[in-house]
C-alpha cells in the first residue's frame, strides 16, 4: 500500500509539474509574441509585455514567471491529491473512459454535431435569408426573431430521447457502452422528479442566487455558491434514485438512502473535482487570451494604424488566429452539448455501479 501511495503521489506531482509548465508556457508565449514592441503601460522600450509584467509585479520577469509556475504547481498538486483521496479506486476516471468506449456512439455524436452545425450555419446564412425573403418575408422575420429559441427547442428535443437511451440502467450495467440506442422509460413519477431536479430546481437556484447576490456584501458569495452547489448535488442524487428504481417507490427510497451515504457522495464529489481540474486546465489559456484580446490587442492595433509601431510577425500571426477563433464560436454550443452528454453518461455509470447491489433482483438479472 505504501508503494502504491508513493507511486500515486509521484504521478500527481508529475501532472502538476506539466500543468505548471503549461501555465508558464502560455504567459511566456504571449510575452514573446510582443517582443520588439513598446510596453503597453509605459509606452517605452522594446520588450513588449515583458516590461508590462515587470511594471505590474514588483519582481524581475524571470522570478515572476517562476513564482507563477510554483503557484500553479501547488494548486494543481493539491487538487490532484484531494481527487485521489475522494476517489482512491479511480472509479471516476473509469466511468469517463467507459462513456468513450463505443466507437459507434462516438461516430453518431460526430455526425450529429456536424449536421447541427451545418444547419446553424445555413440558418444564419444571408444568402438563404435573401432567398426566403423573396419567397416568404414572414418566414425570414420569424427565423430572425426566434432563431435562438428554435435552437434551444431543437437541443431539448435532441437531449430528451438521447438521455433516456444513454441512462438506461441495462446499458449502464454493461462492461462497454453497447446497445446505447435502446430507450428506457423510468415511469411517470421518476420522470417528473427528474424534470424537477434536473431542469426546474437548478434554474430556480440560479435565479435565487442572482437575486440574493449583493456585491456590497461580497463575503456572502462563497457561502451562497456552496449552498447552490449542495442543492444542485442533492437534486441530482434524488433524480438518479428515482431513475434507477425501476418504477418501484420503495426501491427509490432505498436507493436514495444509498446515494446519500458518504462513500457515494465522496465519489460524486471526486467526479466533480475531475471536471474542475479539466476546467482549470482549459481556463488558463482562455483567460490569458481573453485578457490579451481585451487589454493588449486594441492598444497595439491603434498604434499600428497610426504607424507608431511595427509589430512582430508572431504578434500578427497570433491576432489572426484569435480573430479566426472568435468567428467560429458557432461550434461552442454543439461542443458544450456533446461534452455535457458524455459527462451525464459517465456520472450515470459511476452512480449506477455504486448502487447496483441495491437494485431490484429482477432488474439486475435483466441488466446482466
Please provide the DSSP assignment of 232-278 as one string: HHHHHHHHHHHHTTTT-HHHHHHHHHHHTSHHHHHHHHHHHHHHHHH
**pTM of whole model > 0.85?**
no
180-185: long-range pairs with CB below 8 Å, 24+: 180/102, 180/104, 180/105
Q: Which of 68-72, 112-116, 144-148, 249-253 has the highest mean pLDDT?
A: 68-72
When pLDDT is averaged across residues 190-210 and rounded to a whole number, the result is 83
Cα–Cα–Cα angle for 224, 228, 234, nearest 5°?
Answer: 145
pLDDT higher than 60, residue 134: no
Residue 325 has pLDDT above 60, yes or no: yes
Q: What confidence tier does 2 reach under pLDDT thresholds 50, 70, 90?
A: very low
**Who has greater pLDDT, 234 or 141?**
234
pLDDT digits (tens, 9 = 90+) for 207-257: 777 777 666 566 677 788 888 899 999 999 999 998 988 777 778 888 888
Quote the pLDDT of residue 4.
47
- The dihedrals phi and psi of 171, each to the nearest 5 degrees, come to -75, -40
Is residue 123 over pLDDT 60?
Answer: no
pLDDT at 302: 78
- Over range 166-186, report the average pLDDT: 87
**Average pLDDT of the segment spanning 172-176:** 88
Query: CA 122 to CA 333: how far, in whole Å?
Result: 16
Q: Return the closest-CA partner of residue 299 out of 55, 47, 41, 23.
A: 41
- Please give the angle made by the CA atoms of 360, 91 and 339, to the nearest 5 degrees: 95
Average model confidence (pLDDT) across the chain = 81
- Find cell 504567459 and name the residue: 27
CA count, 13 A, side-chain hemisphere, 261: 12
pLDDT bracket for residue 272 (50, 70, 90): very high
Amino acid at each position: 500500500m505504501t508503494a502504491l501511495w508513493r507511486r500515486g503521489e509521484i504521478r500527481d506531482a508529475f501532472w502538476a509539474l506539466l500543468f505548471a509548465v503549461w501555465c508558464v508556457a502560455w504567459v511566456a508565449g504571449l510575452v514573446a509574441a510582443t517582443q520588439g514592441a513598446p510596453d503597453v503601460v509605459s509606452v517605452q522600450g522594446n520588450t513588449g509585455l515583458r516590461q508590462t509584467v515587470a511594471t505590474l509585479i514588483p519582481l524581475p520577469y524571470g522570478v515572476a514567471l517562476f513564482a507563477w509556475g510554483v503557484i500553479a504547481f501547488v494548486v494543481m498538486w493539491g487538487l490532484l491529491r484531494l481527487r485521489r483521496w475522494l476517489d482512491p479506486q479511480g472509479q471516476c476516471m473509469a466511468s469517463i473512459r467507459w462513456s468513450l468506449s463505443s466507437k459507434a456512439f462516438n461516430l453518431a455524436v460526430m455526425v450529429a454535431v456536424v449536421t447541427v452545425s451545418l444547419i446553424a450555419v445555413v440558418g444564419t446564412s444571408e444568402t438563404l435569408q435573401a432567398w426566403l425573403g423573396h419567397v416568404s418575408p414572414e418566414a425570414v422575420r420569424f427565423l430572425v426573431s426566434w432563431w435562438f429559441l428554435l435552437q434551444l427547442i431543437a437541443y431539448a428535443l435532441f437531449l430528451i430521447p438521447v438521455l433516456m437511451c444513454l441512462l438506461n440502467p441495462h446499458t449502464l450495467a454493461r462492461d462497454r457502452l453497447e446497445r446505447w440506442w435502446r430507450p428506457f422509460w423510468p415511469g411517470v413519477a421518476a420522470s417528473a422528479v427528474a424534470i424537477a431536479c434536473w431542469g426546474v430546481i437548478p434554474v430556480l437556484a440560479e435565479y435565487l442566487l442572482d437575486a440574493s447576490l449583493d456585491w456590497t456584501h461580497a463575503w456572502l458569495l462563497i457561502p451562497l455558491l456552496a449552498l447552490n452547489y449542495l442543492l444542485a448535488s442533492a437534486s441530482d442524487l434524488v433524480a438518479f434514485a428515482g431513475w434507477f428504481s425501476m418504477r418501484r417507490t420503495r426501491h427509490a427510497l432505498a436507493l436514495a438512502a444509498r446515494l446519500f451515504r458518504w462513500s457515494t457522495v465522496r465519489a460524486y464529489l471526486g467526479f466533480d473535482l475531475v471536471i474542475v481540474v479539466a476546467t482549470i486546465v482549459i481556463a488558463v489559456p482562455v483567460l490569458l487570451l481573453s485578457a490579451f484580446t481585451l487589454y493588449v490587442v486594441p492598444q497595439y492595433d491603434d498604434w499600428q494604424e497610426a504607424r507608431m509601431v511595427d509589430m512582430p510577425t508572431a504578434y500578427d500571426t497570433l491576432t489572426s488566429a484569435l480573430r479566426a477563433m472568435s468567428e467560429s464560436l458557432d461550434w461552442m454550443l454543439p461542443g458544450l452539448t456533446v461534452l455535457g452528454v458524455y459527462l451525464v453518461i459517465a456520472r450515470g455509470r459511476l452512480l449506477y455501479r455504486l448502487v447496483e447491489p441495491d437494485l431490484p433482483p429482477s432488474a439486475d438479472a435483466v441488466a446482466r
